[in-house]
Structures are given as C-alpha cells and as structure tokens.
Structure 1
C-alpha cells in the first residue's frame, strides 16, 4: 500500500511538471507557511462567495464582476512570479504592492458605485487614474498566468484605440483620449466588465468548481475506466479508449494541456504497451483531448459564452455543436483504427481491461451529476442553477462513494480542498476574459468589428471559401498560445461577422472560429497539447505535433462542411425544421461527410482495406475531399474515385488470400 501511494505521488508530480512546462497557467509558486495559508483562505472565500451569490442572488453587474476580477488578481500576484524562470517560491515585496493596488481599484468601485453610475460618460481624473491602474494590473496578471500572446493582442488594440488616425484604409478612425479609453475599459459594462467577465463571474466559475469535485470524488477516474472497459479490447483499444475518455472529460475541462496530461498519464503508457509508436500515442491523446472542448454539453464553458454572443438558446448551441463534434472524433477514430490495422496492433488483454458490467453495476450512480446537469440545462434551467445542482450532487455522490470504496477518500478536508482547487483553476479564465474584454471594448468603441468584417469580405471579393480560409488562418494564429476562451471571444467579435456577411448562419460562423481556435493546440509550430503529450510519451515534440495534425487532418475540413452545409448545425433549431422537411438533406450530407473522412483517413495513413499504393492514396485523398464537400456533383465524382481505389484494393486482398 505504501508503494502505491509513493507511485501515485510521483505520477502527480510528473503531471504538474509537464503542465507547468507547456502551459503558463500551471507554472505557479509552491508556497509554504503564511503565504500558503493566505492563498488557501482567499481561494476558499472566493469559491464560497461565488456559490453564495449564485444561490441567493447576484450583486449589481459592475460590483459582481469587479469583485470577481479582484479576487483573481490577488491570488495571481500571490501565486505567480513575475518571471517564469523565478524558482524561489517566495512572494516578492512588489507583489504585495500589486495586491494592495488590486484591492484598491476594486474597493474604489465598491465605495463609489452609485456615484460612478450617476456620472456615467463624464468621469473625472481620479476615475481615469484608477482605471489606468486597473488595466495595468489586469495586463500584468494576464501575462503571468496566460503568457505574452494575449496581452500583445490586447495591448495592440489599446494602441489602435488611441492612434486610430494613423492606421490605413478602413482601419482608420479619429482616435480617443486616454481618459475615454481607460474609463470605458474599466468602469463601463462594455469592456473588461462586459460579457466575458459576466459569464466568468457567474456560471463558468461554478462549472470549474464542478470539475474540481469530479476529480476529488473519483468520478473522473471512473469515466476513464469506463472508456477502457468499452474500447480497450478492440483493435488498437487503448487509443480508442483515450478518445472516449478525452471526449467525456474534455467537455468539462477548459484546457487542452490539462486534459492531455490528466487522461494521457493513463492512456499513453497503455498505447505504448501494445506497440503504438511514442509519437503516435502522444498525438492520439493530444488530438482527442483538444477535441474534448468541442464536445457538448459544456464545451469547456464556451457554450455559455456563445449564448451571449449569438443570442441563441443554450440548447440550440449544444445540440447544434453535436454533429460537428461527432465528425471530429469520428475522423480521429478512423485514423487510429487504420493505424492499428496497418501495424497489426491488437487491443489490451482481457485481464488488463476493467470489467464493464462491474463498473456499471457497482458505480452507476457516479454518472448522476453529469446527467443531472445535462437534464437541467435541457429543461431550460439557467447554467448557473444547473452548475449549482451539479456541484451539490457531486459532493453527495462523493460522500457515498467514499463509504462504498475504501480507495476513495472524500470528507470535509477534500470538500474544502475542492473549493481551493476550483478557484485556482479559474484564474486563467478570469484573466483571459478580462483581457479579451479590453479587445471587445476597443472593437465596440471604434466600430472595428464591422470594419474588419467588411475588410475580409472585400479582400475575398465576397467568395465564401476565401472568407473562410482567411478566417481560419486568423483563428489558428491567434489560438497559438492564447487560452481558448479568449481566442473565441476575440474571433466572435472581429472574425465571425465576416462569415455571417457572406451568408454563413450565425451558429455555424461562431462554431467555425471556435473550432479552429481550438485546433491551434495541435497545429505546429505551437502545438501545446501535443508537446505536453510528448512529455509523457518521451517522444519528439515537433514530430508529435505533426502527427497530431495529421490525425486531425479530416477534422480541419469539418468546419468547412458545416459552414457550407448548415443542416449539420441547424438540425435541432426550431426555425430550420430539418427533422421534418429536410431530413433527406441532412442524411445525405452526414453520410457523404463520414464516408469522405474514412477515405481521407486511408489516404493520409496509407492504409484502407490493405496497404495503399501511391496512386491509391492520392485517389482516396481527393475522393474524400470531394465527398466532404456539399455539392452533389462533387460527391458523385468523389464516390466514384473512392470506389475505384477500394475495388483495386479488394482485388489485391483477394489475390493475397488466394496466394
């Protein structure tokens, strides 16, 4: 028993090391003594305050949101050093100054709440000074917890707001004063304290708290065991189990890196044990974990932010995203299956596979919190209420599971630790939303959103495919090193309107930019999720990134599919009535897309019914792309090409069998 605990501790230490290396969010100080106690107290109070206001009523918008940001700033300056290379684990004197200033700017908001409302739009010099300090604190806090990419973007937008008259063409505007920019950014509800922080300060925090309790209560481990029990014995079983586990857990996690390390610490060694190459094993986990954020019902909390930007009901977004998510995971599943067949890789031996019947019979109740959240959201309850019920049910299930399973410890100590860990996991989201709010504010103040959308449309001359291509590049570039939440907010503000302008439906346009922002985590040269997986597998990081992007090659086409074939995302919306009059269109679009992804998988992997010849790989690839497209003529040509390649392969297989 002692050895098991030691191994578990070493595993956790390795996970923390990898997450800190590849994700700035996890590169924090290991405090001790009074400072550690201080962080513990503040984070627990923060979580309790969030639960209390969600239960008994929120404060007025600017108070709720500014206090939320204030808590985040204080904890960040205690936990995160100014330099990532600072390994002293000591809070510096200047960090305490930042903490005092953080409390001061929020305190100013609280004390002067009514006065700030009365003089809206006519702020004084002290308002400006406090706003400038608040902006500086948020930018520095974001840099510490999320890295330099996001603050570079938000800083550029601030410069644009001030020097607008010097920008060329459609970007030009008259420019705004420092007082106007700063007070608009901090005091108004259109920027830092706008929609992103509104969502963060209400239900995103609660869902992160819910995720921390899933881990504490053993439900997360049960989901991984369930995935192994379902798929572990199939051809290439551990890789398929990794896909199932990452899809189920990644929907709650808002971090591709954390999801990769969490599930990958189990699945990557299993994949390697049956013969998968290190690069491939790490790439499978990275691709699947990254896609977890695309999976309804929670989508890494993006579903709730999307409801605010699109003004669409939550159920419409969650159900509309289900088919694109299905296509993404089917694409990866196909690649994994073909790789296993190509190399003759079998599943895990029976003795290494958890017993599915026993898991369901003895632990079925562990699924209650997840089903409860989904049920409440579908029934129309607010995300905040659903998250609260999810947290409560998880805690109750945790106590029950602790009494039934001697390997699970969940008592008062773990209950309080969950409050601390939930608050810590929210830090990156809070800063990402605050900094993204700066960008949203500048876009609103200057009218850049409409200008940028018109500029992209003009550049593409109204061509929908060129518009999508330019938007894809922008989403991937911004997604490299930027938190998913912030990336989506930026893209929803400046890029999605361009897609809408050329006829892409609102939901499809927002899913398009969200999709490519996430895929950036497995796209070289900055494929953070792939690099984290490589750390576990002991593989070459760049080769792992290339392999991960190849695994998801078909998935790069999925956004183009649903953007040009709206039936795939509008199938569940009342106005589309797809399930009635257009069911045939949906079935044809989905069928050709799935067949096309299988063909693309064969072309990329070099294996379909058997090992492919060079011309067969080419024909399968081209035929697959044509099948994925929504034009029936292209589909017909693509189907003919795929049949040609498969007939050739089938005859070759037949001859091999006869021989």
Structure 2
C-alpha cells in the first residue's frame, strides 16, 4: 500500500490495504486474500467449516438457502411450536454434520459418507416429530419404542453437533446434567433427588417442549436466525464498507480520529454481525495499518478492536442472541430490552472514547487522515444503508413483534439496495446472502438445542432452585456478596461456554438468586447478560483478544489486560443497576426525572472514574487526586441523591487539587 504524506498528516485508505496473519501490510491487490485470511481467523476461533466443491457444495448450498427461505415463510405462516422447532433443528443438524468436520485433522475438501448418513438420520429424527407431533405430545411420560430409539439418536446427534461447532465443554456439561437426572439418588444431601428413568428423560428431552425444543431453540427458530439473515443481507449490499467509510469520514481527521473511527465502525458493524470475534477481526484487517501509522502499539490497537467488537454485542438496536431469550423469558417486548440497554451502551462507548482521548495525549498518537469520501457525498450516495437499521426501531415502536420488524426491515434493505447498481441485491447476490446467513446461524442452533437439555434437567430436578439457594447461603443473603459471587460464577461459565449458552444456564441458576436477594427481575437478567457477554474479553480465554492478536502481531495476554481497561464500565455498570431499586433508572425504567438524573450523574461519574483510573486529566494526576476522582466517580455512578452529592464533592475536590498543581506549571512549560 502506498500512502502519500502531507505536511503534517499522513493519509491512508485502510480499506484498500490487505493484512496478513502476522499483521504486515500487503498490496491493494491482495485484499481478497486478506479477506480469506479473516475468514480463516474467524473459523479458527468460532469453528472451522469444510470448503466444498462440486455436487456436495451444491447440495449444502441448496439446504442453506432452503433453511433461510423456510424461516422467512414461517414468519407469516402459523406453524405449531414443536414442528416449527423440529424443522429448524433438522436443517441445522444436517448442515452442521455436512459442513463441520468431526476433527481438525479431517480433510476439509470432502464430506465422508458417514457424515452424509448422519445428516440423513438427523433429518429423519426431526421429520418423525413433524409428522406425529400431535400423537407424541401424549407420550411424554411413557414414550413408545420408536420414540426412545429416535429420541436417543437425536440426543446424541445434538451433542455431536454442539461438539463440532463450539467444542467439547458444552456437550460434556449437558451429559453431566443428564447423568444427574438419572443418578439423582446417589448424590449427597440437598443435591440428591428421586432420579428419573431413561425413558422419562428421553421423553422430556425429545417429545416435550421442555428439553431440546425448549425456549432457547424456540427463540433461535423465530428471532435469531431472522436477524442473522438480516445481517447477511446488509453485508451483501455493501453496508459494511459504507459503515467503515462513514466512521472514517466523521472522525478520521483528528489526532484521535483513527481510534474514534474504529469505535464507531465497531458499533455499526457489530450489530448486524452479532459476533464480537467476527467484528473485531474484520475491522482489524481493515484498520490495523491506519492504527499502526497513528502510533498505536499492536496490543493497544488489539485492545481497542476487541473492546469495540464486544461492545457491539451489548448495543441496540441489534444486541446479541441472548437478548432475544431475555425478552422471551421475561415475556416482554424486544423493544423493552433495547430500552434497558441504551444507557449502559452509552456509558460503555463513552469510556472507550475517553480512553482514546487520553491515549492520544499520553502515547503520542500521530494524526493520520484516512482517505475517505466526504460525509455529505457518502450519505447522498449510500446513506440508504442506514434506513433499515432505523426501520427496525420504528417498526418496534409501531407495535410490531421483533420477527415482523426485522422481516420488513429486510425487505426495505433489499428494496433500497437497488438505488445503486453497485449495491443492488441481484438474485445471485440475494441467494449468496441467504446461504451465508443460514450458515452463520448454525452454531447458535446447536448451542440453543444443547442449552435446552441443560435447562430441561434443571427444571425437572429442581437443581436450578437448589443452586440459587446455595448462592444465597454462601453470600449470607446479602446483596453485594450475592452480586460478586454471581459475577464470578458467570465469568467462570464464560471461560468455557459461548455467550448464549452461558446466559441460558445462568438465567435458570444465578438470576433467580439475584431476584431472591431483592434485585428487580429485568435488572437481574441484564446483569446476567452483561457478564455472559464479557466472557469474550475475560482472561484467560478471551477469544476476541487472541483473534485480533493474530492480525496485529501483539501479545494476546497484554492485549487482554488492556481490553479490560477499555471495557471497565461493562464490568461496573451491572452492579450500579442492581445495588439499588433506583438503579432501574439506569435501564431507563422509571419516572423521567429519575432517568434523566441517573443518566447525567452516571456520565459525570464515568468521566471522573476514567480520569482517576488512567491517572491523567490535564496532565499526570497524583495518587491522592486519583483516589478522590475514582471515589467520586463511583459515588456519582451509584444511583441515589446521597451518592450524587458525595461523588460530586469528592470529584470536585480531586479536580481542584489537580488544577491547582497544573496551573503554576503552565508558564514554565510555555517558556
């Protein structure tokens, strides 16, 4: 890549440069290869798929497109829950067994005959439920021989699909819970129970809507896959390139511009992609040359990309997959979940932007102007890409369900793409988008199916309530210890489980303990959701940090700890809206004056907290100034008038002490 130099500012167009796996720049002609490298990196951390050709590739493509079309049609048709979810899982299992190799050592260019047979068998086990769903509903407690055989096979195939897509930990956990359901009498003390027969467990898992086909898979079949398809359609129309260019054009001509641009692009790209790893890696491949020229170290750049990518998963209007499950469990509108997420999102990205400003001063970041088109021209030519994002919220406000809102937004995205020839979703591009969208949903299909097994056993045996009682007993029933213990449990779960599975397991074990400790139910589930999401940037298995480090060439562990600093409010804010009943104001739930006061004081508190943690205001802060700023920031962020008054006094004292020391230094510095 050739970059011209101005008198003061380096100019570079990052989207025209490729980046190899070691972080070195390639020529613009290598961009396609760089995109292949990005796909390889995403697959390395989220599961590798086969690269097929010939008739088998055509078969897989047909199945993926058929899966997408089926779910689009099913949104407008009435299909009973059991057959609807069985068809969804049938498509998912067949595609997973054909696309995901049984081991990393397998040849990824072909499908062994054993996997073809398994895919056909998986489809048959689901077809049985579709045909006989009325009859099997009456045989849950006493299943027949055919039910037991097909149910056992389906259970094993679901576990194998999860192993191939997410690793061995989640299916191993499901096997442990199944064993707990079977060997209940052999567990000691409060953990023991009467035990359930093999046939009873199979009936519960396969024939009812309380096992494999429970709420998690239902949400995947009715909401998650539609939003995944929507993201694929946006990507196919070139919206991703527009989001990056718009971010660069809006923020890229200031010394802090590269960092701001990466943060803004992470927010815009991350919602439709739904994956923190994919967002961070994709954006890293595009913007790492820009960040490096600006003076960012590999670790600092990786931390910025990782924090931005994971932030997009907790940001409206399209949050992570677990957010749809929150709406289903609490029986609220998805619009309510969006409203609860607004202020935490503002605080999260404000913290990142403040850190960027401080890094600009302390780390000697150089101004680098990105060669992006002017904002006005970009909006005139490609601004229509924003319409469908706005439309989702507009449809929700108009009373549409989340499924209908995203469906009509998809239709709008396709329609407006024809405003320009280069963005038009022609039939070929549309089929490619449907194919890619269906494939992107496969890991969620397997995860939610296995999570349904775990939840089914928890509900059947009452283990969820026992676990909640244990959490309360260990914390003495006090709120703060309960919250700390819940956060630790969630971070431990997140070390081994995907975000969605981590939330689902915690929703039936940890969240009830929080509710019993006095936390409002929405706040308890949002607390659980946030700490499940943070698993992607939590040591020692922070996937986003390791993935981005493969691009920047930085030390992944140093990248991980720097990401923690950027993601600081994501770890603190959940405590703020759970420690006090008025904390619901931070979730924009309460009287308008309470919401306004909580929002303003939280922003002020976060600003003081960032200054104190980073040790910089107008210059280096002394230790006592930092203590006052941190204490004042925490008090301001805590909802309540006492905290506001105390925090304002402490922060003002710390700021006054800092300015009193800085003022005499200014003339000397100027001289």
Residue 453 of structure 1 pairs with residue 468 of structure 2: yes
1:201–1:554: structure 2 CA closer, same or farther, 3 Å change rule?
closer
Is 603-612 or 365-374 further displaced after alignment? Answer: 603-612
Residue 376 of structure 1 pairs with residue 391 of structure 2: no
Aligned match for 2:34, one of 2, 5, 11? 11
Q: Cα deviation per residue 1:256-304 (whole Å; 9 max; x = unaligned)?
A: 1111112222233322221111111111111111011111122124332
1:274–1:587: structure 2 CA closer, same or farther, 3 Å change rule?
same
Aligned to 2:634: 625
CA contact (8 A) 2:582 2:640 kept: no
Q: Cα deviation per residue 1:536-566 (whole Å; 9 max; x = unaligned)?
A: 2111111111110121123311100111245
CA distance in 2, matches of 1:35, 1:387: 32
Aligned match for 2:134, one of 90, 96, 114? 114
Aligned match for 1:357, one of 363, 371, 376? 376
Aligned to 1:552: 567
CA contact (8 A) 2:298 2:552 kept: yes
CA contact (8 A) 1:565 1:589 kept: no
Aligned match for 1:195, one of 215, 218, 237? 215
Aligned to 1:159: 179
CA distance in 1, matches of 2:347, 2:599: 9
Q: Cα deviation per residue 1:132-175 (whole Å; 9 max; x = unaligned)?
A: 11111001100101112222222221122112223334322111
CA distance in 2, matches of 1:635, 1:53: 51
CA distance in 2, matches of 1:346, 1:627: 34
Within 5 Å, which residues of 2 pair with 1:573-592?
577-579=590-592, 583=593, 585-592=594-601
Aligned to 2:69: 48
Aligned to 1:616: 625
1:606–1:353: structure 2 CA closer, same or farther, 3 Å change rule?
farther
CA distance in 1, matches of 2:81, 2:108: 39
CA displacement at 1:651 relative to structure 2: 2.7
CA distance in 1, matches of 2:94, 2:388: 31
Residue 270 of structure 1 pairs with residue 293 of structure 2: no
CA displacement at 1:637 relative to structure 2: 4.2
Q: How many residues align?
A: 645
CA displacement at 1:476 relative to structure 2: 1.4
Within 5 Å, which residues of 2 pair with 1:135-174?
135-174=155-194
CA contact (8 A) 2:585 2:598 kept: no
Is 644-653 or 102-111 further displaced after alignment? Answer: 644-653
Aligned to 1:542: 557
Within 5 Å, which residues of 2 pair with 1:151-300?
151-300=171-320
Aligned match for 1:524, one of 513, 529, 539? 539
Q: In angstroms, what is the RMSD of aligned CA positions?
A: 2.2
CA distance in 1, matches of 2:548, 2:146: 49
Residue 486 of structure 1 pairs with residue 501 of structure 2: yes
Q: Please give the secondary structure, in 2, of the residue aligned with 1:112.
A: helix
CA contact (8 A) 1:146 1:483 kept: yes
1:608–1:156: structure 2 CA closer, same or farther, 3 Å change rule?
farther
Q: Please give the secondary structure, in 1, of the residue aligned with 2:419.
A: helix
CA distance in 1, matches of 2:424, 2:411: 17
Aligned match for 2:45, one of 10, 13, 22? 22
Q: Please give the secondary structure, in 2, of the residue aligned with 1:609.
A: coil
TM (norm. structure 2) is 0.92
Q: Please give the secondary structure, in 2, of the residue aligned with 1:11.
A: helix
Q: Cα deviation per residue 1:317-371 (whole Å; 9 max; x = unaligned)?
A: 211221112112212222222111222425432x624311111222222212112
CA contact (8 A) 1:280 1:547 kept: yes
Residue 400 of structure 1 pairs with residue 400 of structure 2: no
CA contact (8 A) 1:235 1:341 kept: no
Q: Please give the secondary structure, in 2, of the residue aligned with 1:251.
A: helix
CA distance in 2, matches of 1:413, 1:116: 41
TM (norm. structure 1) is 0.93
Aligned to 2:94: 74
Q: What residue ranges of structure 1 are gaps of 5+ in the alignment? A: none
Aligned to 2:407: 388
Within 5 Å, which residues of 2 pair with 1:392-471?
392-401=411-420, 403=421, 405=422, 408=423, 410-471=425-486
CA distance in 2, matches of 1:418, 1:228: 26
CA contact (8 A) 1:252 1:293 kept: no
CA contact (8 A) 1:339 1:607 kept: no
1:537–1:409: structure 2 CA closer, same or farther, 3 Å change rule?
farther
